[in-house]
Amino acid sequence: MTDLVMVATGRDADVFALDAQRVLRRYRDGGDVAAEASMMAHVGGLGFPVPRVYSAEGGDLVLERLTGPTMLQALGSGEITTSAAAEQLADLLARLHALPPRIPGRPREHPVHLDLHPANIMLEARGPVVIDWRNSREGRPEFDVAVSALILAQVAVDPAWTEAALAAEFLTAFLATVDAVPPDALDHAVRFRRADPNLTTREIALLGEAVALLGRRLDTRRRPGG
């Protein structure tokens, strides 16, 4: 394994090229990828765009190798407009939440991603493909939307991110395309993000400012003509 070529790295995992068709996604803390692979197989089997899963064992996932840019990269290069990207993100969330849960008999619960933002969408020739399913589970759709909105707001209020202004613009466009974000869903999203071990102390400290930004944008949307 020492000759593996790293092609991407994230907060908790590294991605290595295996060949022209496959990559290895390896979590640095090990763990068990069974639940992640199960959700990907479930939604992929129902037609939702995910990478093909070749194998899953321990902390390793062997996945289809994707070649397109991320939505975030395409936004930065001007390949896609903010409004078009926001509509794609909202559409992906709506399509995901229209799917049934893996376990029947839970009418209010649907597959949720809980980390769906422009860096986790690959723009392939066949269309957008959603990656990084580690947080996925069954849950309430409005909670998933609130998490996506909160992630965007966290970037928008943090001047350390070069994408802060882009995130602020994207957040406005995204909120214009999704249903209302109920206060209880946003509260749940804040608790969820605060408990994320991959967030830095700085990011956690800025959660209050992110929530305030979200509140202002939601208030503007609710006003007549907003």
Whether the pLDDT of residue 226 is over 90: the answer is no
Average pLDDT over residues 73-92: 97
The least confident of 49-63, 98-112, 194-208 is 98-112
Give SS3 for 65. coil
Distance in angstroms (rounded) separating the CA atoms of residues 32 and 61: 10
pLDDT for 121-173, tens place per residue?
999 999 999 999 999 999 999 999 999 999 999 999 999 999 999 999 999 99
Whether the pLDDT of residue 2 is over 60: the answer is no
pLDDT for 176-220, tens place per residue?
999 889 999 999 999 999 999 999 999 999 999 999 999 999 887
pLDDT of amino acid 107: 77
Residue 176 burial (10 A CB sphere; 0-12, 13-18, 19+) = middle
Domain annotation for the chain: domains and CATH numbers: 5-64 (3.30.200.20), 71-222 (3.90.1200)
